[in-house]
């Protein structure tokens, strides 16, 4: 499945360069929705930051399709939504939900694994 990402590599700025990879929903990277929910889990691979990003409107059917997600550089996701940057230093087990209509996030419950 070919994806057309909303931002091109040449559009990326070094906001949090060198901080590793992450997993993000295509609702962010393809559909250009802001991050609505994010959490940090134990990394799955070398270079994984452990961060996982969702627009927050993905339903159960959407979530079951692996192709709706991708492995991305954390800096890239920060370019899609710079509001996440202040929250990235938080530890594994952290989770945040965007406050409606704002750039602020509040602590949220992390998913159970």
Encode pLDDT of 50-76 as tens digits: 999 999 999 999 999 999 999 999 999
Q: For the chain, how many structural domains are there in total?
A: 1
pTM above 0.75, yes or no: yes
Instruction: Tally the residues of the chain.
Output: 113
Does residue 108 register a pLDDT over 70?
yes
Provide the strand spans (E) within 3-111. 21-25, 37-40, 48-54, 69-73, 95-98, 105-107
Percent of the chain with pLDDT over 70: 98
Give a yes or no: residue 113 inside a domain: no
Taking CA 58 as the corner, what is the angle to CA 111 and CA 99, rounded to the nearest 5 degrees? 70
Residue 1's pLDDT band, with cuts at 50, 70 and 90, is low
Q: Specify if 1 maps to a domain.
A: no
Q: Do the domain assignments include residue 112? A: no
Tell me, what's the pLDDT at 113? 61
* Residue 72 · residue 24 · CB < 8 Å: yes
pLDDT category, 3, cuts 50, 70, 90? very high
| In-domain check, residue 7 | no
Query: What is the residue range of 72's domain?
Result: 19-106
Confidence of residue 2 (pLDDT cuts 50, 70, 90): confident
88 Cβ contact partners less than 8 Å away, ≥ 6 residues apart: 16, 19, 49, 51, 74, 78
Closest to 111 (Cα-Cα) out of 42, 45, 46: 42
**8 domain-assigned:** no
């Amino acid at each position: 499945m070919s994806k057309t990402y909303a931002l091109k590599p040449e559009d990326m700025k070094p906001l949090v360069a060198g901080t590793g990879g992450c997993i993000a929903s295509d609702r962010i990277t393809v559909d250009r929705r802001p991050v609505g929910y994010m959490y940090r889990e134990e990394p799955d691979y070398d270079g994984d930051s452990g961060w996982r990003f969702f627009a927050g409107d993905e339903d159960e059917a959407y979530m079951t399709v692996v192709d709706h997600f991708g492995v991305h550089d954390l800096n890239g996701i920060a370019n899609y939504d710079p509001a996440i940057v202040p929250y990235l230093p938080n530890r594994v087990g952290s989770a945040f939900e965007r406050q409606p209509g704002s750039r602020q996030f509040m602590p949220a419950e992390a998913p159970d694994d």
